[in-house]
A and B are shown apart, each in its own frame.
Chain A
C-alpha cells in the first residue's frame, strides 16, 4: 500500500467498516424476511403421467425448456391410457404426480371411486373444453338456434336448442347418449351444467345404492370414453355428442364427423380445468421436491402465456410444435394450433376468435383457489355423487385438505426472490383468502359464492339440494 492512498486513513477505515456493517445488517434483515432458499430435492428422478390433451402443455414445456432440470429434477413424462389408469398410477406410487382433472383429487379424498388422499398445489389451466355433437344432431338443432345478421348461429348456443332434439329422440325410443371422459371430470360437470340449464336432465348418481352409472331419471345418458377415442365413438354412432378437451373437438371438425356447439369458456368464463395432483404422502416425504416441481410448472405456465411484440400468447406456436410430437399429444399441428393460438372452429368454416380458450397463467390461473374446489364439490352433490347433504363447513374443510395454496405460496416467493417472476404476477398473499369474489359469468346467470355452497345448490331447478337423498 502506498502512502499516497489517502483512503487508508483511520477515519476512512472507520467510515468504510461502518458502511460494510450497515450493508451486512440490511441484507441480513432483508434476507430474513425473504424465504430461505428451498433445499435440495429429496427425490430427483420423477415420473409424471399425463393424458394426451392440449392442456398437458405446462408439463411438456417445463421438460423441453429445461425448467425441471434447472430445479435439479430429472423427469420422465409418460402418457397414460385413460384417467383411471392415471389415478391408479399416482395412488400406487408408479407415478410421482400427474396432470389430473380438477375433480379427481377431491373425489379420491372423499372416497368416491378409489379412496386416497390426493392434494394439488398447482392449477394447470383454465377453460379448454368444448361440447361437440354429431352432424345429424346439429342439423336438427340448427333451425332452433337464433342467427346473427350474417346468417351464422348466435353464440353461446344454449342447451335449450338441443332440448327439442332430445325430446324427438325420446319419442322415437332412442336413448340420447353423450360421452364425457370420467365421472369426476370437469367435462362431466360442465356438460351436466349446460344440459340442466337448458332443461335436459343429465341423470343422478346413487352411490349409496350402488348405482354409479349416473343415469337415474336422465333425459340424456352420459357415459365414459377416453379422450382420444371420442371422435371414433362419435363417428360410430355410439354417442350423439361429447364434452372433451382439445384437440378432440377440433379433430371432429377436421375429420368432418361433428360440430362443436359451445366451449366451456361460454358456460363458465375462466373456469378451472386441470390440476397437478400428487399423493399427500409424497408431498410430506418430499417437501422440497414438491416446491421445486411447482416452481418449474409456474415458469412453464408463464412462458405459455407470455406476451410478445404482437400481443399475448406469443410462444404458443412453439408450444404447439412441442405438443404435436408423437410422444406428447401427437395430433396434427393444425388441429392443435387452432385453439392454442386463440381461434376456435365451430361449424366447418365458422372460425371465431376465442383468445382465452386456453389460459395457463393469466387471471391467476395457476393459483389453487378453495372456491374452485367448492364448486366441484357442489356439483358432485348436485348430481348425487355425494349422496348425503353436507354443511357448508364440510365443503370448506375438504377444500382446505386437498388444495394447497401454502405450497404454491412457497414456490411463488422463491421464484420472486430468484428474479424469475414479479410479485404483481401473483395474488396478494397477505390478503388472499383462497375464495374468489362471487362469480356471475355462467351461462344460466346463476351467481356462485364459494362461501355459501348450500345456498348455491338451492338456486338450481334441476339437481339435488338441501336434505334431498335419492
Chain B
C-alpha cells in the first residue's frame, strides 16, 4: 500500500506517509522526529481540547441542564446510532408484516395491480439521524452541482472577456454578501408558487434548501474561476498565438488546465460555504436533514437535547472536513502540475 501511495501522488499527504511508514516498520529512529510531529502533536492537542471542554462545560448551567461534556456527547452519539438500528429493526418487522399480507392477498386471488401496490409500499417511520445525514449530503450535492454548472462557464467567459467582466462585476459584488436566511423566504414563495404538481419528484423543502445553497455558493466559484482564467501566464498565451490556435482549442488546451488550481480553490470554498448554508436553510425550510435535526432537538427541550445537538455539530464539522478533502483529492487527480503543494 505504501508503494501504491508513493506512486500515486494524488493521495499523498505528509501525515499519511509518516503513519504508513511507521506501520511498515521503517527505521524508527529516523522516523520518530517527523512521526512525533505528525501524529503525537495533533493527538495531544485534541486531548487538551477535550479536557478544557470538560472543565468548561461543568461551569455552564443552562435551563436545559449543564452544558454537555465530551462523555455525554459520546453517549448520545451512541444513542443516536442505537435509535437508527431500532428504527431499521422496526422497518424490517414492517416489511415482514407486509410480506405476510402480500402472501395472503396472492392466496386470496386479489388483482395484480393491488399486489404490485403492496409490494412497493414503503415504511412510514420518521427519518433517523443517519438518514438525515444522507439527506443533507444529497441536498448539498444537488445545490453545489447546479451552482458549479452555472458558475464555471460564467467564470470562464467573464475571465476571458474584459467587457463582460466589467458588466457582471457589480452584480456579483452586490449579491455575494447576501445571507442565505435572506434568500430563503423568497425562494420558499417562488417554489410554492411555481412547483405545483400532483406527483412531485422532489419535496418542496428539498428544492428550497438546494436552491438556497446554489444561490450562496455561486459566487466564490465565479470569482475564482474568473481570476484563474484571466491570470493565465503570458507565455502560454503567446504560444497559442504563435501556433494560431482556434478559440476552442485555446480554451481547452491552455486556459482551462492552467486555471484549474484557482477554479478548484473556488469550488472548495463554494462547497464549504454551501455546507454551512445548508444547515441554516434546512432549519428554516424543514428539509429532513441535519439542520432540521438540530432545530427539532432544540424544540424538544429534553435533558439530552444539548448533547445531541453537540453530537450533530461534530458530525457536521467532520462531514465538512471530509467534503473538503474529497474536493482536494479531486483537484489533485485533475491538476497537471503534480509537484504543486496543495493543502
Interface residues of A (CB under 8 A from B): 45, 52, 66, 69, 74-79, 81, 228-229, 231-232, 235, 251, 255-257, 324, 326-327, 329-332, 335
Contacts and interface: CB of A to CB of B under 8 A. Distances in A.
Nearest to A80: B286
Contacts, number: 51
A330 B299 contact: yes
Nearest to B65: A255
A440 to B, nearest CB: 38
A282 to B, nearest CB: 16
A454 B268 CA distance: 70
- Interface residue range, chain B: 10 to 19
B297 interface: yes
Given A76-B124, A232-B63, A324-B302, 9 more contacts: A74-B121, A79-B296, A81-B286, A228-B300, A255-B64, A326-B300, A330-B305, A332-B302, A332-B304
7 contacts: A52-B300, A74-B121, A231-B301, A330-B297, A331-B301, A331-B302, A332-B302
A330 B63 contact: no
A228 B301 contact: yes
A327 B293 CA distance: 10
Contacts of B302: 324, 326, 330-332, 335
A77 B126 contact: yes
A74 B286 contact: no
Interface string B79-98: 00001000000000000010
Interface in B293-338: 296-297, 299-305, 308
B63 A255 contact: yes
A60 to B, nearest CB: 11
B297 A326 contact: yes
A52 B299 CA distance: 9
Contacts of B305: 330
Nearest to B286: A81
A257 B304 CA distance: 19
Contacts of A231: 63, 301
Contacts of B300: 52, 228, 326, 329-331
A77 B123 CA distance: 12
Nearest to A64: B90
Nearest to B305: A330
Contacts of A75: 124
Interface string B40-66: 000000000000000000000001100
Interface string B118-139: 0001001010000000000000
Nearest to A63: B124
A75 to B, nearest CB: 6
A257 B299 contact: no
Contacts of B63: 231-232, 235, 255-257
A290 to B, nearest CB: 19
Interface of B: 63-64, 83, 97, 121, 124, 126, 286, 296-297, 299-305, 308
A228 B299 contact: yes
A69 B124 CA distance: 11
A251 B301 contact: yes
Contacts of A332: 302-304
A1 to B, nearest CB: 32
B296 A326 contact: yes
Nearest to A47: B124
A255 to B, nearest CB: 5
A79 B127 CA distance: 12
A235 B124 CA distance: 37
Contacts of A335: 302
Nearest to A229: B299
B196 to A, nearest CB: 11
Given A69-B97, A235-B63, A257-B63, A74 B124 contact: yes
Given A69-B97, A231-B63, A235-B63, A327 B126 contact: yes
A81 B305 CA distance: 18
A257 B64 CA distance: 11
A81 B302 CA distance: 17
A82 to B, nearest CB: 10
Contacts of A256: 63
Nearest to B63: A255
A317 B127 CA distance: 25
Contacts of A66: 97
Contacts of A45: 124
A257 B301 CA distance: 14
Contacts of B83: 326
A255 B303 CA distance: 10
Contacts of B126: 76-78, 327
Nearest to A255: B63
Nearest to B297: A326
A370 to B, nearest CB: 34
Nearest to B93: A66
A227 to B, nearest CB: 9
B103 to A, nearest CB: 16
A344 to B, nearest CB: 19
A327 B288 CA distance: 12
Nearest to A324: B302
Contacts of A235: 63
A332 B121 CA distance: 33
Given A74-B121, A76-B124, A255-B63, A330 B303 contact: no
Contacts of A324: 302
A1 B92 CA distance: 51
A244 B302 CA distance: 18
A279 to B, nearest CB: 17
Which of B124, B296, B304 has the most chain A CB within a 10 Å cutoff?
B124
Nearest to B129: A326
B315 to A, nearest CB: 16
Contacts of B308: 326
Nearest to A256: B63
A67 B307 CA distance: 34
A174 to B, nearest CB: 23
Nearest to A92: B192
Nearest to B123: A74
A77 B300 CA distance: 16
Contacts of A329: 300
B287 to A, nearest CB: 13
A81 B286 CA distance: 9
Nearest to A81: B286
Contacts of A327: 126, 296
B6 to A, nearest CB: 48
Contacts of B286: 81
7 A-B pairs with least C-beta separation: A330-B300, A327-B126, A76-B124, A228-B299, A255-B63, A332-B302, A331-B302
